[in-house]
Amino acid sequence: MRIAIPLQDGVLSAHFGRCQAYAFIDANSDTKTLARQTVITSPPHEPGALPVWIAEHGADVVITGGMGPRAIELFERHGVEVVLGAPSDEPGKVAESFLRGELTTTGSICDHDA
Protein backbone atom coordinates (compact mmCIF):
# COMPACT_ATOMS: atom_id res chain seq x y z
CA MET A 1 0.00 0.00 0.00
CA ARG A 2 1.20 3.51 -0.76
CA ILE A 3 -0.11 6.42 1.31
CA ALA A 4 0.14 10.04 0.14
CA ILE A 5 0.13 12.83 2.72
CA PRO A 6 0.35 16.55 1.84
CA LEU A 7 2.98 18.39 3.88
CA GLN A 8 3.41 21.94 5.09
CA ASP A 9 6.45 22.58 7.27
CA GLY A 10 6.96 18.82 7.74
CA VAL A 11 3.48 17.97 9.03
CA LEU A 12 0.17 17.04 7.43
CA SER A 13 -1.29 20.04 5.62
CA ALA A 14 -4.86 21.14 6.30
CA HIS A 15 -5.51 21.36 2.54
CA PHE A 16 -3.89 19.04 0.06
CA GLY A 17 -3.92 21.38 -2.94
CA ARG A 18 -1.65 24.11 -1.64
CA CYS A 19 1.14 22.40 0.21
CA GLN A 20 4.94 22.38 -0.10
CA ALA A 21 5.43 18.66 -0.68
CA TYR A 22 3.88 15.21 -0.45
CA ALA A 23 5.10 12.31 1.63
CA PHE A 24 4.63 8.99 -0.16
CA ILE A 25 4.79 6.23 2.41
CA ASP A 26 5.08 2.58 1.42
CA ALA A 27 3.39 0.41 4.02
CA ASN A 28 2.41 -3.18 4.62
CA SER A 29 -1.28 -3.24 5.50
CA ASP A 30 -1.06 -6.84 6.74
CA THR A 31 1.73 -6.25 9.26
CA LYS A 32 0.75 -2.59 9.75
CA THR A 33 4.33 -1.43 9.30
CA LEU A 34 5.95 1.38 7.34
CA ALA A 35 8.65 0.44 4.86
CA ARG A 36 9.82 3.64 3.22
CA GLN A 37 8.97 7.34 3.03
CA THR A 38 9.77 9.57 0.08
CA VAL A 39 9.09 13.31 0.07
CA ILE A 40 8.44 14.92 -3.31
CA THR A 41 8.02 18.65 -3.92
CA SER A 42 4.51 19.55 -5.02
CA PRO A 43 3.91 20.42 -8.65
CA PRO A 44 2.35 23.82 -9.42
CA HIS A 45 -1.29 23.93 -8.34
CA GLU A 46 -3.67 23.49 -11.25
CA PRO A 47 -7.29 22.50 -10.64
CA GLY A 48 -7.78 18.77 -11.25
CA ALA A 49 -4.09 17.95 -11.79
CA LEU A 50 -3.05 16.74 -8.34
CA PRO A 51 -5.27 13.65 -8.17
CA VAL A 52 -3.74 12.42 -11.43
CA TRP A 53 -0.19 13.26 -10.27
CA ILE A 54 -0.68 11.48 -6.94
CA ALA A 55 -2.20 8.43 -8.66
CA GLU A 56 0.75 8.36 -11.10
CA HIS A 57 3.04 8.17 -8.06
CA GLY A 58 1.28 4.95 -7.09
CA ALA A 59 -0.81 6.14 -4.14
CA ASP A 60 -3.63 3.91 -2.96
CA VAL A 61 -4.75 6.33 -0.25
CA VAL A 62 -4.46 10.10 0.29
CA ILE A 63 -4.83 11.37 3.86
CA THR A 64 -5.45 15.09 4.30
CA GLY A 65 -7.16 17.72 6.39
CA GLY A 66 -9.63 18.95 3.78
CA MET A 67 -10.41 18.72 0.10
CA GLY A 68 -13.02 19.98 -2.32
CA PRO A 69 -15.71 17.69 -3.75
CA ARG A 70 -14.31 17.83 -7.30
CA ALA A 71 -10.90 16.58 -6.11
CA ILE A 72 -12.56 13.77 -4.16
CA GLU A 73 -14.39 12.69 -7.30
CA LEU A 74 -11.16 12.75 -9.35
CA PHE A 75 -9.33 10.65 -6.75
CA GLU A 76 -12.16 8.11 -6.73
CA ARG A 77 -12.02 7.91 -10.54
CA HIS A 78 -8.33 7.02 -10.25
CA GLY A 79 -8.92 4.39 -7.57
CA VAL A 80 -7.36 6.40 -4.74
CA GLU A 81 -9.14 6.25 -1.36
CA VAL A 82 -9.60 9.67 0.29
CA VAL A 83 -9.36 10.12 4.06
CA LEU A 84 -10.47 13.59 5.19
CA GLY A 85 -10.18 15.53 8.41
CA ALA A 86 -6.89 14.06 9.61
CA PRO A 87 -4.97 15.98 12.28
CA SER A 88 -1.82 17.93 11.53
CA ASP A 89 1.02 15.64 12.61
CA GLU A 90 4.19 14.03 11.29
CA PRO A 91 3.43 11.87 8.23
CA GLY A 92 4.81 8.67 9.75
CA LYS A 93 2.58 9.04 12.81
CA VAL A 94 -0.46 9.73 10.61
CA ALA A 95 0.25 6.69 8.43
CA GLU A 96 0.82 4.39 11.43
CA SER A 97 -2.45 5.53 13.04
CA PHE A 98 -4.28 4.93 9.77
CA LEU A 99 -2.84 1.43 9.39
CA ARG A 100 -3.84 0.50 12.96
CA GLY A 101 -7.36 1.87 12.43
CA GLU A 102 -6.75 4.50 15.11
CA LEU A 103 -6.68 7.67 13.00
CA THR A 104 -9.25 10.15 14.30
CA THR A 105 -10.78 12.12 11.42
CA THR A 106 -13.57 14.65 11.00
CA GLY A 107 -14.45 13.94 7.36
CA SER A 108 -13.84 17.64 6.60
CA ILE A 109 -14.62 18.73 3.06
CA CYS A 110 -13.62 22.17 1.78
CA ASP A 111 -16.40 24.31 0.35
CA HIS A 112 -14.63 24.97 -2.95
CA ASP A 113 -13.46 22.98 -5.93
CA ALA A 114 -9.80 22.06 -6.12
Q: Would 112 be classed as within a structural domain? A: no
pLDDT at 18: 79
pLDDT at 113: 45
**Average pLDDT by stretches of 10, the chain with 114 residues:** 96 85 96 95 87 96 91 94 94 96 80 48
Please report, for the domain that includes residue 58, its CATH number: 3.30.420.130
Beta partners for residue 3, in sequence order: 25, 61
50 and 72 Cβ atoms separated by less than 8 Å:
no
pLDDT at 109: 56
Q: Would 109 be classed as within a structural domain? A: no
pLDDT at 38: 97
Q: Would 81 be classed as within a structural domain? A: yes
What is the number of domains present in the chain?
Answer: 1
pLDDT at 93: 96
How buried is 79 (Cβ within 10 angstroms: 0-12 exposed, 13-18 middle, 19+ buried)? exposed
The domain of 29 spans 2-99
pTM surpassing 0.85? yes
Q: Would 16 be classed as within a structural domain? A: yes
Q: Would 104 be classed as within a structural domain? A: no
